[in-house]
Amino acid sequence: MLVQLSKKSTMNELVKLRQQIAEMEKQAADLQKKNRPAVLAELREQMAAYGITAEELSRPAAKASRPKVLPAKPASPAKGKKPVMSSPIKYRGPEGQEWTGRGTAPKWLNDLLVDGKTRDDFLIRQDTANAG
């Protein structure tokens, strides 16, 4: 009998907690509904001030690029090892993005391929690269 009382009180606690969760979720939804017009007005005001369009908001955000940190002095290879040579740039995107053609294709290239472009459209031609 003692075990059954313990199970019953645990069930009662669980039911009470679920009721509290439901009440808090309703409070949160009511608060969102109440504040929504003011938030929308503030967003519209800021969009107008910065000249932001709804179309711009629907596009994915550009990733912020970190500034490249150059080493203080060139790294010298360990004794007996060959220096690592970086691969030449093989592809260049419309906004100056670069890719060596090694490893996984970058997002900018995949996005352009989905739009109907081909890798050849962005291939850096060696005969024209050396001429310039």
- Where do the structural domains in the chain lie, given as residue ranges? 2-58, 91-131
Q: How confident is the model at residue 1 (pLDDT cuts 50, 70, 90)?
A: very low
Who contacts 64 (Cβ-Cβ below 8 Å, separation ≥6)? none
pTM here is 0.36
Q: For residues 99 and 107, is the Cβ–Cβ distance under 8 A? A: no
Which pLDDT does position 131 carry in this prediction?
A: 52
pLDDT tens digits along 72-104 = 666 666 677 777 778 888 989 989 999 888 889
Q: Is the pLDDT of residue 117 over 50?
A: yes
Which pLDDT does position 52 carry in this prediction?
A: 85
pLDDT tens digits along 31-77 = 999 999 999 999 989 888 988 888 888 888 777 666 676 666 666 66
Specify the DSSP class assigned to residue 92. E
Give the count of beta carbons closer than 10 Å to the beta carbon of residue 122: 19
Q: How far apart are CA 123 and CA 31, in angstroms?
A: 54
Helix (H/G/I), strand (E/B), else coil: 74: coil
- Spatial CA neighbour of 89 closest among 132, 117, 129: 129
The residue among 114 and 5 whose pLDDT is bigger is 114
Q: How far apart are CA 117 and CA 120, in angstroms?
A: 8
Q: How far apart are CA 99 and CA 107, in angstroms?
A: 11
Q: How confident is the model at residue 126 (pLDDT cuts 50, 70, 90)?
A: confident
